Structure formats: C-alpha cells, structure tokens
A and B are shown apart, each in its own frame.
Chain A
Amino acid sequence: MAGPVLEMRSIVKTFPGVKALSDVTLTVRQGEVHAICGENGAGKSTLMKVLSGVHPHGTYEGEILFEGEVCSFKDIRASEHHGIVIIHQELALVPFLSIAENIFLGNEHASGGFINWNETLKHATELLRRVGLNDHPETRIADIGVGKQQLVEIAKALSKKVKLLILDEPTAALNDEDSGKLLDLILELKKQGITSIIISHKLNEIRRVADSVTILRDGRSIETLDVKAPETTEDRIISGMVGRDLDHRFPDRTPYQGEADAAPALEIRNWTVHHPIDQQRKVVDDVSINVRRGEIVGIAGLMGAGRTELAMSVFGRTYGRHAGGQVFKDGREIRTKTVAEAVQHGIAYVTEDRKHYGLNLIDNINRNISLTALGKVAKRGVVDEHEERKVAERFRKSMNIKAPTVFETVGRLSGGNQQKVVLSKWIFAGPEVLILDEPTRGIDVGAKYEIYTVIDQLAAEGKAVVFISSELPELLGMCDRIYTMAAGRLTGEVPRAEATQEVLMRQMTKDKEVTR
C-alpha cells in the first residue's frame, strides 16, 4: 500500500476560551479518498482550515507533513502552491463572472496585465472536459445550478495543479443526481492520482467513495477505519461518532405527563418547502410534526436536514417557497403567512443565528427585549420607558444576564448572555409555542445549563416547546419525543424511553436510497 502523502500530528487549535482541536492526528495515504466524519462541531472544518492555511502556521500547535516535508503555511496561497486545495461548503465563486473567469480568478492567463482570452478559454475548456461539464466556459456562474458550480470549483482546483483536494460536505446542497455525478468525479480523479479528503455526514456516500475514514469527536481524532474492511459497518462508524457518555448536564426533568390524545398545541401537516433559488429542490419534503402543551419535542438532524428551513417557513414564511402543508393550533387551522400572524397565534421562533436574525447588536438589552412585544409596554403608540426598563430588569435577574445594566449594548455581551437576551425577548412576547433553534449553540456549559433550566420551566408552565439541536446528548437530556430529519424528510419519531444516540444517528444518516 502507498505511503502517506499527508500527516497531521498532534494538532491543537485554541480559540479564545475554547479548545476546538485537542491532539488530532490524521494520516492520509497517497492516492486514496479519505473521509472525515463527526458530529456538528466535532472540529472537522477547523482541522481542514488548519491544513489549508486559513488558520496560519503559528496559530496552532502540532506538525503538518505533506509529501514528507514539514509545512508552515501562512495563508491559503501557500497551501495551494503546494497543491493542497480546499473547496468550502459555501462556494467561493463570483456569480456575475463567467465560468472561465472564475476558474482563473487570481491566477489569470495574462501578460503585462492583460488577459489572454484565447488561452484562457482553451485551457478552461480542457479543464471542464476533465470534470465532465459541457457548458460553454463563457457562461455566467449565476446561470448554472449548484451542482455544476461545484464542478467549476473542482476545475478551478485542477487548474492549480491540485495534489490533495479537500471537499467540505460537497453534496450537502446537491440533489441526488448531482451528488452521484460528483462522487463519480471524485473516483475518476482518484484514478488520475489525485488524493482527496472528503468531509461528509452521509454514511452511504462514505461507503461508496472512501477508502478510509477518520472519526472526530469533541475536537479529538478518535480512530481511523478502513472502509473496505468487512467489520467497518455503518453502525461501527456511528458508535465512533457519538461515543461520549451522557453526564449530568441537564436539569432533572419530570417527563411529559399529559394525555396522548389531547389536541396538540401546534401541529404541522405535510409541510413542503422549496429552496428559494433552486426551486427544483425540496428543502423540506412532506413533513408532519406536532407538539403538545407541556411537552418538549426535539428535532434532530445533521446539516442540511431542513430543520431550520422547516421552522422558519412555518414562522411567517421567512424561508424558501412554501409549496404545501397546513398549520394547526389547538386543532384549528391557522394562517402563519407573516411573522405578525405567527406571533399573534402565540408562536415564537428563537433563531439559531442570533447575531444576524435574533438581535440588534448595536442596541441595548432593554430595547432588544421589548422589541417583539413593544405593545405590552406602550400606550397609544408611546413606549413607557419605565415599564420597559422594569421588564428588562426582571429578565436580567431571572435569566441571570450578566451585564452591568440593561443599557449595555448587546453586541458587547458574551454568546451565552446574548442567547439569554434572545430568549427573554421571546418569552416576553408571551408565546404558547416556542420553536428553539439551536438555543445553546456557541455558548459555554454553565450558560447551557441555565438555558436548559429555562426551557424546562417553560414546559412546566404549559408551553409547548420544539427543540431543534445538533447535539444529541442535549436532545436526549431534554426532550420527551424526538423527531429525526434527513435531507428534508422526516425519518423517524422516537419517544424518550427508546432514544439513544445510536438510534438517532442511524435515522439522521438515513439517506434517500430507502425511498428510491
């Protein structure tokens, strides 16, 4: 068997306050396709950023050997110079430039500052043929689909004389057909001697293209398995991914006691949503879920499963194009076409992206909390500032928001405290149904515990809670029932008693092959 082309030894990467990678070792053999898998936040992307020089040499500890040489890349250009090219999940193409222009962006065929178009087009055509793309190189990027854009990225990598190609979840945004083509291309490139690292959640994909797989968990490299070996089953990989123990990180919670036949506080039936731009793609596909008062219902899924898209499209159609489905509240159908309507019906959506969708970062705690329900502290359109301040003070105390006063600018707070402000804001709106989207993302363990306690209280007060999370332990620790989603579809519903990480992960990685 061929020797290693890449060795990453004892990589440690620390961000302020957090260890993202602790002692990761990765060995990739010449000419293989090497998969990396792990839960969201396991450190996969960080590791690849270290490798490609996004996190430059000196900001991490450990050693990188590529083709037997010690590497100290100071930026992406340096790693590309050595033939290491990374293709990020969010494609880095300029939409209004042509395919050819994008391929050679920053690396133009030019003499004296002027582009040689003949050579550019000729070379681009060759590269496109290699990746199996028939479009004319002068087509604008904006006019081709995501699948083809992905191929353009690979052509761009080839133009840089790539030796090691890194693909970060390349199929996450693709449909079945495009995914298939892409995976074929990776195998084709392998024949041409190009080594690939592919980050993926989809176990069937890994089995199809990869030779070996390295599993990361909580910033550590757990093990490397030979995919072709008979003992490497999907279950084997799953248990590697979730292996950690459940420790006491959740408040003690009395499970939901209500009657199973009570009308659910919120029920979503046959909900389908199309992608806002690529309208052929169903981002949410015929999903039906429900939640009762006093119940905490989890939605588990990996990136691209459609959880946030489901929540946002229900909440005032704030995502995608609605293509069908109904929402019922206490058994009666309701309209939730605008955010105002959804709020009026007592629905609150606490976003996963608090900085962009949750808070006005340049304003203070006081005004962020009151925004959704200003009417409650206002008379005839005039805000009673003292009432407003009282409310904010109340939340500052009850939620333990750490800030000197409620007039502190929200942008200056830590992630955990920002999250408490977002939660306060929605609790103040007085909803009956709360959809919490990754409410503990990016915050420390102490603050997480506080947020769990709040969620628990909300359920105890009789509110219905939908809890979307990528962290299985937290779903297992908090929820009465857990739905699983994969690629836009509902793939399972597991009651608390039967839920384990393995069961959930199996359903979360279920791909469409079953229904095909």
Chain B
Amino acid sequence: MSTDVTDKVPASAPPGKSGGTAADGNLLQLILGGLRRNMRQYGMLIALGLIVVLFQVWTGGDLLLPRNVSNLVLQNSYILILAIGMMLVIIAGHIDLSVGSLTAFVGAFAAVLTVQHSVAWPVALVLCLLVGAVAGALQGFLIAYLGIPSFIVTLAGMLLFRGLTEIFLQGQTLGPFPNGLQKLGNGFLPEVGPNTNYHNLTLLLGIVLLAFVVYQEVRDRRREQEFSLDVLPRNAFLLKLVAIAAAIIAVTMILASYQGAPIILIVLGVLVVGYGYVMRNAVFGRHIYAIGGNLPAAKLSGVKDKKVTFFVFLNMGVLAALAGLVVAARLNAASPKAGLNFELEAIASSFIGGASMSGGVGTVLGAIIGGLVLGVLNNGMNLLSVGTDWQQVIKGLALLAAVGFDVWNKRKSGS
C-alpha cells in the first residue's frame, strides 16, 4: 500500500490556485542564498587565500618570492593534472586508486622508449598518452560494462601497474630524458623581444588572459541581463572584476620577474579551461553529473551511463599518463617509486575542492583549489622546515576540516 499520505488533501481546496510568483525573491537574499549554496567553493577559496597570507607572514615573505612561486607550480602540476581527472571520476560516483601507479608505469615506459630505444620524444609522448588511454579504457571497461566496483578494479590496477613498473625498470632508475621531454617538467616559456627586466612573453600572456577573462565576465553578465535574470549589482560586479584582475596581474608579475611562465603552467591552464568548459557545457559533462547525481534517473532519461563511465576512466588514464610524463621529466628519470601516494593526494584535492562521496557534485576549478591548498601547505611547511611527519598530520587535519565544514554547513542549511 502506498505510504503517500501527502496526496490526501481535503478535496475542497480550490483547484488551480497558485501561490506567490517567482519574481518575489528578494535580491539580497538571492545573493546570500547563492553564496551559501556555493559556500564550499568560496569557503575553500577564502581558506586558500588565508593559508597563503599566513605562510607569507610566517616565512617572512619567502612564499611569494618569484622563484618559490615558480617552484610551487612545478611541484604541484602533476597532482593538479591528476586532480582534474579524479574530479570527473568522483563526480561520476566512482574512485580511481590506480593513478599513482599508472603515473610511474607511464614514466617507466617513456624512459624505456627514449633512453633505451632512442625513440624521438614527440613520438614517445604520443605513445605514452596512448598507453594511458589503453590502461584507462581497460579499467573503464571492467567497471562500466562488467559492473565490477571501481574501488576493486583500480585497487587491482594500483598493485598491477606498480608491479609492472618494477618489472619494466628491473628496480633501476632510468634516465636522463631527452631535452624536449625535460622541458615538460622543468621548462619555461622562451624569452623574446627587448630586455625589459621582465619576461616579455609571460607579460603578453598575462595581458591576453586578463583581456579574455574581463571580456567573458562582461559578456556573461550582459547575457544574464538579457534573460532578465538577477545579476550581481554593478558595484559588486566591478569589485569582482578588480579582484580577478589583481590576482592575474599579481601572478603574472611574479612569474615574469623570474624565468617566466613554466610550460606546464600553460598546459595546466589549457586543461583547466578545457575541462571546465566540458563539464559545464558539453553534453558529455552533463551526463557525468547526471549519472553521479542519480544513476537510475539518468538511465531512465536515456543517458548511456556505461559509455559515459567508460570514457571517464579512459580520460583518467590519459591524464595519469600526462602526469607520469611530467613527473619523469621533472625528476629527469623514471623510478620504480615514482608517483607513490599520488592517487591519495588527487583524491584529497577533489574532496577539499568540494566533491561529494556520493557523486554528482564538484567542479574542475574546485579540484584545482583543493590541490593548491595542499600544495601551498606542503611548500609553506617545507620553507618553515616542518618535518614530513608533521606535514602529514597537518594535511590530514586540513582534509578533515574541509569536509567536516561541508557536512556541518549542509546540516545547518537543512538539505
């Protein structure tokens, strides 16, 4: 028998009567509501800002020295690359434990190709990404089509790829890599034009980026107005633009006053924009959110859930391969112990950045913010010569605090 008691309303109620209209919503409440709902993202951004300021003070200004910022980018790039893919996996309602091992495996493969067999590095790069894709596709097939839980499949993958790496390298460290490949991990944009005391190309890139972002923001606002949606008030919008511009200019100037923008930062930037766009605007991205948010409903809506899951893991494989190349290039050697615990860092980044254990929630930008929180904590504590023992303790607490805050916030808002 139906437990639906709610449909037993006295039949005398007047039919067809509708309550207040949509436009009743108070503007201030709307903004506050929006802020509250995105509390997690804003909260983490604010937390990131606080951490940066704190370490800047504690390290006596060392944190934001141009050289250290460059370092920070180089040190964290591979975790951030993994975090992007991991975010997709988690949004889809899965987990991938194999990425750390896969990074090592691909690094080893690259070394065998370029060092032992002198394959040209661009060819090796493509082959490595292919290997990542195949590995991801295999796991994706087992998860999506055979229905083996992702935790199990990727746990097996974690052991398997780690083992294969060691077999491949026979326990040795293999290097060095050809110059072209090394650039991926350590290189900077080339210097061009007159001597300005700054890195010209980086400045140019910063200006282009600034113009692009401002243009996008203004266009978005105008379009929203066209749809007579409530937009930020003019002042608030200007403030937001100024804040964004300040951040871009600051980072540009810091990087330009050292060796310029690292190549991997450009790669990362392209990935963030690209994946952000896919997750927000592409049918594929929407389907990932749909299967993570409510799998049965997505299935009944005609979403090809298996195909989507498959490609999410395939994609994770490709990104893990890219991360593997970057790690190997940065260390200039393939090591059997490379990429140890990377999967956990990527997973932690995603959760700090707003992903949910049950799937369906999260953004690419969130994963980046989460990764940066961990990265700045790492780097800052290194500068302060905090031992790795305490570093782990503090990172653990950061993860707990971030997710705890989220849970508390959700409970408070009663959803």
Which residues of chain A have a CB within 8 Å of any CB of chain B?
15, 17-20, 40-46, 89, 168-169, 199, 201, 218-219, 244, 247-249, 303, 315-316, 318, 339-340, 342-343, 349, 351, 356-363, 367, 370-372, 374-375, 378, 381-383, 385-386, 389-390, 393, 396, 400, 402-405, 409, 411-412, 415, 425, 440-446, 448-450, 453, 470-471
> B residues within 8 A CB of A40?
1-2, 4
Contact: B281 with A385, CB < 8 Å? yes
> B residues within 8 A CB of A396?
22
Contact: B5 with A15, CB < 8 Å? yes
Closest to B226 in A: A386
Contact: B9 with A444, CB < 8 Å? yes
Which residues of chain B have a CB within 8 Å of any CB of chain A?
1-22, 24-25, 30, 37, 223, 227, 229-230, 280-284, 286-287, 289-290, 293-294, 296-304, 360-361, 415
Nearest chain A CB to B219 CB, angstrom units: 11
Contact: B15 with A360, CB < 8 Å? no
Contact: A303 with B2, CB < 8 Å? yes
Nearest chain A CB to B305 CB, angstrom units: 10
Cβ-defined partner of A44 (8 Å) among B1, B294, B301: B1
Q: A18-B9, A367-B286, A442-B4 are in contact. Are A449 and B15 (CB under 8 A)?
A: yes
> A residues within 8 A CB of B281?
382-383, 385
23 A-B residue pairings within 8 Å (CB atoms): A40-B4, A46-B3, A199-B1, A303-B1, A339-B302, A351-B300, A358-B297, A360-B360, A362-B361, A363-B290, A371-B301, A378-B283, A382-B281, A383-B286, A389-B227, A393-B227, A396-B22, A402-B21, A402-B22, A404-B22, A404-B30, A445-B13, A446-B15
Nearest chain B CB to A64 CB, angstrom units: 19
Contact: A339 with B300, CB < 8 Å? yes
State A411–B297 Cα separation when bound (angstroms): 14
Contact: B7 with A442, CB < 8 Å? yes
Contact: B6 with A442, CB < 8 Å? yes
Closest to A386 in B: B223
List of 6 A-B pairs having minimum Cβ-Cβ separation, nearest first? A449-B15, A20-B5, A360-B293, A404-B25, A40-B2, A442-B6
> B residues within 8 A CB of A340?
302, 304
State A412–B415 Cα separation when bound (angstroms): 8
State A343–B296 Cα separation when bound (angstroms): 16
State A390–B1 Cα separation when bound (angstroms): 40
Identify whether the interface residues of B are mostly helix, strand, loop, or mixed: loop
Cβ-defined partner of A343 (8 Å) among B11, B293, B302: B302
Contact: A169 with B286, CB < 8 Å? no
Nearest chain B CB to A369 CB, angstrom units: 11
Contact: A441 with B297, CB < 8 Å? no
State A389–B8 Cα separation when bound (angstroms): 34
> A residues within 8 A CB of B296?
356-357
Q: Chain B CB within 10 Å — which of A356, A363, A470 has the most?
A: A363
Q: Chain B CB within 10 Å — which of A247, A371, A409, A440 has the most?
A: A371
> A residues within 8 A CB of B298?
360, 371
Q: A357-B300, A371-B298, A396-B22 are in contact. Are A453 and B290 (CB under 8 A)?
A: no
Closest to A356 in B: B296
State A471–B5 Cα separation when bound (angstroms): 13
Q: A15-B6, A381-B284, A441-B7 are in contact. Are A409 and B37 (CB under 8 A)?
A: yes
Cβ-defined partner of A453 (8 Å) among B16, B17, B223, B284: B16
Q: A372-B301, A385-B280, A402-B21 are in contact. List 8 more A-B contacts (CB 8 A).
A: A15-B5, A40-B1, A40-B2, A201-B1, A318-B299, A339-B302, A389-B229, A453-B16
Nearest chain B CB to A374 CB, angstrom units: 5
Contact: B7 with A440, CB < 8 Å? yes
Nearest chain B CB to A41 CB, angstrom units: 5
Cβ-defined partner of B19 (8 Å) among A248, A342, A351, A402: A402
Closest to B223 in A: A386
Nearest chain B CB to A505 CB, angstrom units: 15
> A residues within 8 A CB of B21?
402
Contact: B6 with A443, CB < 8 Å? yes
Contact: A359 with B8, CB < 8 Å? no
State A440–B4 Cα separation when bound (angstroms): 11
State A371–B304 Cα separation when bound (angstroms): 12
> A residues within 8 A CB of B223?
386
> A residues within 8 A CB of B415?
409, 411-412
State A404–B33 Cα separation when bound (angstroms): 11
State A363–B282 Cα separation when bound (angstroms): 16
State A356–B294 Cα separation when bound (angstroms): 7
State A370–B286 Cα separation when bound (angstroms): 10
State A121–B289 Cα separation when bound (angstroms): 50
Contact: B9 with A381, CB < 8 Å? no
Contact: A361 with B301, CB < 8 Å? no
Contact: B293 with A446, CB < 8 Å? no
State A403–B7 Cα separation when bound (angstroms): 21
Contact: B15 with A445, CB < 8 Å? yes
> B residues within 8 A CB of A20?
5, 8
Closest to A453 in B: B16
Cβ-defined partner of A360 (8 Å) among B8, B290, B302: B290
Contact: B2 with A470, CB < 8 Å? yes
Contact: B6 with A45, CB < 8 Å? no
Q: Chain B CB within 10 Å — which of A201, A248, A448, A453 has the most?
A: A448
Contact: A249 with B1, CB < 8 Å? no
Q: A40-B1, A362-B361 are in contact. Are A381 and B282 (CB under 8 A)?
A: yes
Contact: B360 with A382, CB < 8 Å? no
Contact: B7 with A371, CB < 8 Å? no
> B residues within 8 A CB of A404?
22, 24-25, 30
> A residues within 8 A CB of B284?
381
Nearest chain A CB to B413 CB, angstrom units: 10
State A372–B299 Cα separation when bound (angstroms): 10
Contact: A356 with B227, CB < 8 Å? no
Contact: B297 with A359, CB < 8 Å? yes
Contact: A349 with B11, CB < 8 Å? no
Contact: A446 with B294, CB < 8 Å? no
> B residues within 8 A CB of A443?
6-7
Contact: B294 with A359, CB < 8 Å? yes
Closest to B413 in A: A412
State A315–B301 Cα separation when bound (angstroms): 10
> B residues within 8 A CB of A448?
7, 15
Cβ-defined partner of B13 (8 Å) among A169, A351, A356, A444: A444
State A319–B360 Cα separation when bound (angstroms): 24
State A400–B19 Cα separation when bound (angstroms): 10
Contact: A356 with B297, CB < 8 Å? yes
State A513–B89 Cα separation when bound (angstroms): 53
State A370–B302 Cα separation when bound (angstroms): 12
Contact: A405 with B22, CB < 8 Å? yes
Cβ-defined partner of A46 (8 Å) among B5, B11, B283: B5
> A residues within 8 A CB of B302?
316, 339-340, 342-343, 372
> A residues within 8 A CB of B4?
40-41, 441-442
State A450–B16 Cα separation when bound (angstroms): 6
